[in-house]
Amino acid sequence: MDQPADQDTLLVWLYALATAALGSAVIRRLLRQELRMGVRAVGSLLLLLLAFRLCFVALPGFPGLCLFCLACALSYCSLPLIGLLPVHQKAILITGCDSGFGHALAKYLDRLGFTVFAGVLHLDGAGAEDLKTGGSDRLTVLQLDITSTEQIAKTFAQVKAQLKNRGLWGVVNNAGVLEFVADAELLPMNTYRRCMEVNYFGAVELTKMFLPLLRQAKGRLVNISSMAGNTPLLGFAAYGASKAALGMFSDILRQELAIWGVKVAIVQPGGFKTGIFGTTAQWNKQHKNIVQQLSPDVKSDYGENYIIAFQGKYDKLQVHSPADLQPVLNDISIALIAKNPKRIYTPGPAGFILPFIYHYLPTCVSDFVIFQMLGSGKDTPAGVNKMASSSNKQ
């Protein structure tokens, strides 16, 4: 008579032990800072809770226990394992350190103990001066325009001489430009060329120059892309196309460099305040350039007020974007020192949500969501309003 009760007690203890074992393993990773509570971690824990209820309640007995243990194993294996390498004597080159992510990253990696080479466009600018005065003796500020072959070669010679025979552990291709945000038809060709020149060709040329040093150290290449590079966003045709090219280049390099022990990662931030949209004076200058190069037909179809409205719309986006860049800095640093970095990191809610909507929901749904976020609203092209008026009259 007591045998079923004893069996139930044994099962309860076995279930408890299986749960405690997985819980301990997860806590151990948290204490070792190897696990961040991201989407995969939360999903893994939810899977465990669901499996516990299904197995313990719906399928009692040893079959349920076996199924629960299997769920525990799958849940644990789905957790991202991030063993971190030591920082000591690792040297990193970062481009675009005048402001934004690059400036904050140079300071952050310097505090972590890296040897940092911070490339800036303006060696006498405020950003460069801040790094010179606020950094440690491990931080070196270098003049580096990534569109200049001569400056890339000079930077390579400086870095190689300072490192001697150590090799370079990491390159972070952060430098980038947005230029102007407007409909693809409105953007002048020099905007497309400028975005490609800086965001893609500059990163490619610098990478090619420094790969021998990365191979020597079996180091890391981290390319800062954007969610605009794999999700179509209204107004970002020039910028998005250049970042899409950088993303494909990164993925192919990841495959090709694996045999050399060099790992490649993409960091795809979503919607942070970095100043990439520029100042009001810069927008006004770009606006004049755009209006001047438009043909009479295009200017008539869109109307100047439609172009002017872009600045206010994207100013509002910047206001609501998070100013704390730490999530981006954390992901870049993990990509640099994780034993097995992920292919892509998406710091910021928008960096994950918008690509997910675009890739996994029907096109009509994703287009609707993106239009609601970035669409013109009441600021529609003048030609569209004229066509609508003509249709109503008919």
pLDDT (tens digit, 9 = 90+) per residue, 25-75? 655 655 554 445 455 555 555 666 666 556 656 655 566 666 666 666 666
Q: Is 104 inside any structural domain? A: yes
Instruction: Report residue 205 as tokens.
Output: 């040329």
Number of domains in the chain: 2
Q: Are residues 52 and 199 in the same domain?
A: no
Q: Per-residue pLDDT averaged across 140-159, rounded?
A: 97
Report the range of poorest mean pLDDT among 53-62, 116-125, 273-282, 371-380: 53-62
Asked if residue 273 has pLDDT above 70, the reply is: no
Residues 160, 119, single domain; the answer is: yes
Contact predicate 223/248, CB 8 Å: no
Q: What number is the average pLDDT over the span 94-118?
A: 96
Instruction: Assign residue 277 the CATH number of its domain.
Output: 3.40.50.720
Residue 326 backbone dihedrals phi, psi, to 5 degrees:
-60, -40
Q: Mean pLDDT throughout 284-289?
A: 73
Last residue of a domain, one of 23, 55, 78: 78
The answer to whether the beta carbons of residues 215 and 260 sit under 8 Å apart is yes
Q: In what order do the strands lie in the sheet with 170-173?
A: 139-143, 115-120, 91-94, 170-173, 220-224, 263-267, 344-345
Collapsing DSSP to helix, strand or coil, 117 comes out as strand
pLDDT exceeds 60 at position 15: yes
Question: Which pair of structure tokens corresponds to residue 45?
Answer: 């824990």
Write down the residue that tokens 């960096």 correspond to. 351
Q: Quick one: 226 and 121 in the same domain?
A: yes
Say whether both 194 and 250 belong to one domain: yes
Helix axes 3-31, 39-53, angle to 10 degrees: 180
Question: Do residues 110 and 65 share a domain?
Answer: no
Clarify whether residues 158 and 226 are in a common domain. yes
Burial group, residue 32, by CB count within 10 angstroms (0-12, 13-18, 19+)? exposed
Is residue 15 among the annotated active site residues? no
For residues 137-159, give the mean pLDDT.
97
Looking at 115-119, 155-159, 227-231, which range is the least confident one? 227-231
Beta strands in the chain (DSSP E): 91-94, 115-120, 139-143, 170-173, 220-224, 263-267, 344-345
Mean pLDDT of the region 266-289: 74
**Percent of the chain topping pLDDT 70:** 69
| Pairwise pLDDT comparison (310 vs 178), residue with the higher score | 178
Domain that holds residue 161: 91-374
Judgement on whether residues 45 and 124 belong to the same structural domain of the protein: no
Q: Quick one: which of 321, 272, 334, 337 has its CA closest to 36? A: 334
Residue 254: inside a domain = yes
Q: What's the rounded Cα separation, in Å, for the pair 49 and 47?
A: 6
Name the region of 150 (left: φ>0; alpha: ψ -120 to 50; beta: rest): alpha
More confident residue, 357 or 18: 357
**Which of 55, 78, 101 is the last residue before a domain boundary?**
78
Q: Hey, what are 275's tokens?
A: 């100043």
Q: Find the catalytic residue in 239, 302, 314, 345.
A: 239
Backbone angles phi, psi at 344, to 5 degrees: -145, 140
71-83 as b/e: b if 16+ CB within 10 A: bbeebbeebbebe
Determine the 3-state secondary structure of 145 from DSSP. coil
- Any idea which of 59-73, 85-99, 206-220, 378-392 has the lowest mean pLDDT? 378-392
Check whether 203 has a pLDDT greater than 90: yes
Tens of pLDDT along 324-363? 889 999 999 999 999 989 999 998 877 778 888 888 889 9
> Is residue 233's pLDDT more than 70?
yes
Q: Tell me, yes or no, whether 104 and 160 share the same domain.
A: yes
